[in-house]
Amino acid sequence: MSRTDSTQGPLSGHLVVDLSRALAGPHAAMMLADLGARVIKVENPGTGDDTRGWGPPFVGPEDDLQSTYFMSCNRNKESISLDLKSGDGQAVLRRLLERADVVIENFRPGVMDRLGFSTAAMHGINPRLVILSITGFGHDGPESQRSGYDQILQGEAGLMSLTGSGPTDPQRVGVPIADLLAGMNGASGVLAALVERGRTGRGQVVRTSLLASLIGVHAFQGTRTTVAGEVPQAQGNHHPSIAPYGLFACRGGSVQISVGSERLWASFAAAFGLDPAAPGFASNAERVRNRAGVIAAVERVFADYDAAELLQKLNDAGIPAGKVRSLDEVYAWEQVASQGLVVDVDHPLLGKVSLPGPPLRFFAPGDAAETTLTQHDAPPLLDEDGQDIRQWLGMEATVAAGAK
């Protein structure tokens, strides 16, 4: 399963050592793997990454069930089991760090120091190393030692107060968005640090957190608080600053529309026989203040159409619109397939399986030939590549992986 010979992707030739577990760090590492880096995932002997036990759903043979959660964030990686408290595990890790371009960890502050791999120690081993460190609440400050779990952070960072049917109905986002955003921010920081290393020849430390990543996407809701002095609240499926913009009932179903300009409002009103200049409707600011009246007026005219014919009419009028798809519909959608957003891999236990694909594509200049990584590897079994990695490091005679 080794990817040492891979020459595809802009990070081809770079080695990433992934010491992280759960989701934020592994997602960052997978993003770098999708860009062509070789990623070696270091896991605890016996149990591996925590997410190997997260389920159901599990798939595969009863005596070796595989977690679909683990599979979501570990494609294109190799796995080696190391006990980082043992002499053998530390020796192997030192060899990996000597060759690595990037190391990723998401332990609580201080854990890497206690293992003997502080940032100073790792840069002593390899001054060119880019170190990505992800925590829950930040690396310093009065609450830096708190455990960082996604839903806890969604609440603490205010996201749940903005999400739900109303102010008394706080809801989590349907995916671990704090973890995912922290992974994305971490990968972005790594890329910037690699660019700078190209100028200076030295690596550096990149830090982010689940807290920082969620506050970083507060967007207009943040400035609504810090500048306008308002405290936003959840208000369901309608935009707080644009109207009409949201999910609207129609005959036997619902559709989503986005009327984001006065030009679109004039087109929408003309298509459905509404007076665009009526009191409470003449400008976006009026429509936002009159949101309940706007929703009622829109749903009144939508009641004459089922979803399919309504979407066609909206499209003909040039109004951005769509439906709410279930995930099975999403992965069967031809548009999704056309963008490489489903990839097929050969898993050693499960055979051919399909995974959600990477979100970036790359094209050569001039002829526009696509250079995106197209051959993907299945998420590895625990320690699947351990002996191959040891041999590559020149440690084939060392005690077996995970031994103490």
For position 151, which CATH number holds? 3.40.50.10540
pLDDT band at 4 (very low <50, low <70, confident <90, very high): very low
Structural domain includes residue 233? no
Q: Which domain holds residue 23?
A: 15-217+335-392
Say if residue 32 is in the same domain as residue 77. Answer: yes
pLDDT band at 404 (very low <50, low <70, confident <90, very high): very low
For 313, half-sphere exposure in the C-beta direction (CA atoms, 13 angstrom radius) is: 18
Instruction: Kindly state the average pLDDT of the residues 261-268.
Output: 97
pLDDT in tens, 50-108: 999 999 999 999 999 999 999 999 999 999 999 999 999 999 999 999 999 999 999 99
Work out how many domains the chain is built from and give that number: 2
CA-to-CA dists, residue 217 to 22, 108, 147, 154, 157, angstroms: 22, 23, 21, 12, 10
Residue 205 has pLDDT above 70, yes or no: yes
Lowest-confidence pick of 1-10, 62-71, 188-197: 1-10
Instruction: Kindly state the average pLDDT of the residues 38-56.
Output: 96
Say if residue 154 is in the same domain as residue 24. Answer: yes
Structural domain includes residue 238? no
pLDDT in tens, 316-338: 999 999 999 999 999 999 999 99
Residue 397 has pLDDT above 70, yes or no: no
Domain boundary, last residue among 295, 322, 349: 322
Instruction: Kindly state the average pLDDT of the residues 131-136.
Output: 97
141 backbone dihedrals φ, ψ, rounded to 5°: 95, 170
Residues identified as active-site = 179
**Res 209: pLDDT:** 97
Residue 348 has pLDDT above 90, yes or no: yes
Residue 158 has pLDDT above 60, yes or no: yes
Burial class (CB in 10 A: 0-12, 13-18, 19+), 285: exposed
pLDDT band at 369 (very low <50, low <70, confident <90, very high): confident
Give the N- to C-terminal CA distance of the chain in Å, as an integer.
26
Which has the closest alpha carbon to 286: 235, 249, 248, 242?
242
Say if residue 144 is in the same domain as residue 26. Answer: yes
Farthest CA pair distance, the chain: 83
Residue 2 has pLDDT above 60, yes or no: no
Contact 131, 203 (CB under 8 A): yes
Instruction: Kindly state the average pLDDT of the residues 292-301.
Output: 97
- How would you classify the pairing of strands 245-250 and 205-209? unpaired
Q: Give the 3-state secondary structure of residue 300.
A: helix
Rounded CA-CA distance 23/191 in Å is 19
The C-alpha torsion from 137 through 17 and 190 to 26, rounded to 10°, is: -50
Say if residue 317 is in the same domain as residue 381. Answer: no
